[in-house]
Structure 1
């Protein structure tokens, strides 16, 4: 995996270095508005992987009082998207698909760990996986996604 990631750019990865400064902090300064609303706490970020903790808030729940599937999907999409952004590619990537499985309920106040990892980083398509687990290690939700390179040139 790391060979395919590293072979596509040989310059210093400024985005990854920037994100590493926020390890241990809440992401209320995220460039993503939804990322600021989710307000996760960055646990770790490396080239091709990322871990963020989220606390389930009442405004993230459905009528049954558990984490809404759409919010779980949003968490997964935001984490894997930020992880791909942190690869330092010249152009932006966007999700082509996001396939989520919802496997366990999460209630208000629970702290969830979301992990993302790059499975394959091609020139135009990056295939990723994400997983949300609770404190007991139960999988709350998991996803696979493909992100495609856009024509939007990134300046940072």
Structure 2
């Protein structure tokens, strides 16, 4: 498979969704999260999410597991935009939580590749409460090349 062609095709999928809610992802979890794509570049995605009731904990704030899921899901999609011939899987997540978001809040997540090696790709994601321009969480993951 031609990696450059694949990269362009995969990236074009996300670029075609700019301003739209993702509903037809191969990731069922992404479809449940319902991100709206804000920007898509090779190795970087920026999406917004509406915090829905089913995403909250008993205190009415965004559940830490959902936040972790947003980070992990968007990081995986970011690696997908690289158009690599091999599949990658998460080998670890490190997440710091800084502030809450509540039902009805609009949050955004933005990823970037920190380091791309032959076997491991390290990716960072920041989650921001849009109304207050406040960072609510930051995570990094190492993605492992598991072959084709």
Tell me the TM-score normalized by structure 1. 0.89
Give the equivalent residue in structure 2 for 1:145: 141
Q: Do the aligned partners of residues 58 and 150 (structure 1) sit closer, same or farther apart at CA in structure 2, a change above 3 Å counting?
A: same
Q: Distance in 2 between matches of 1:146 and 1:66?
A: 27
Q: Per-residue displacement from partner, 1:33-70 (whole Å, max 9, x unpaired)?
A: 00000011011110111100000000000000000000
Superposed CA RMSD in Å reads 1.1
Which residue among 17, 20, 40 is the counterpart of 2:15?
A: 20
Superposition deviation, residue 18 in structure 1: 2.1
Distance 1:113 1:150 in 2: 29
Q: Distance in 2 between matches of 1:127 and 1:79?
A: 13
Instruction: Tell me the matched-pair count.
Output: 144
Q: What runs of 5+ residues in structure 2 fail to find an aligned partner?
A: none
1:50 to 25, 35, 45: 45
After TM superposition, list the pairs within 5 Å mapping 1:1-156 onto structure 2.
11-12=4-5, 13=7, 14-135=9-130, 136-151=132-147, 153=148
1:108-140, CA deviations, whole angstroms, 9 ceiling, x for partnerless residues?
010001000001111111001001001211111
Name the SS for the 2:4 alignment partner. coil
Question: Which is richer in helix?
Answer: 2
Note the residue ranges of structure 1 that are not aligned, 5 or more in a row. 1-8
Q: State the Cα deviation string for residues 68-113 of structure 1 (Å, max 9, x = none).
A: 0000000000011100011000011100100011110000010001
